[in-house]
Amino acid sequence: MPTDYETSILLKLDMIINQNSEIINLISIDSENINKLIARLFVGYLLTKYSFKALNYFFFYSDPHKPYS
């Protein structure tokens, strides 16, 4: 039978381990979420790249490959 002192130490250790496992669970991100994030960034990059070319072409009536002509 453990003493009160030993029980308190075990309870504190258990609490520390539980807190650390919760932190680790918060930090770890699913690979599915990472793939979604990469896909969104790539689509956003493409939309930004081509929308500026389209805006330049329609508003300035110039070749979209020559933005300053």
**Calpha distance 43→21 (Å, rounded):** 35
pLDDT confidence bin for 66, thresholds 50/70/90:
low
Total domain count, the chain: 1
Flag whether 68 is in a domain: no
pTM of the model: 0.37
pLDDT tens sequence across 10-64:
888 888 877 777 776 666 666 667 778 888 888 888 888 777 777 777 776 655 5
Flag whether 69 is in a domain: no
**Calpha distance 29→40 (Å, rounded):** 16
Flag whether 31 is in a domain: yes
Range of the domain at 42: 4-60
CA distances from 48 to 7, 44, 62 (A): 61, 6, 19
Flag whether 54 is in a domain: yes
Flag whether 43 is in a domain: yes
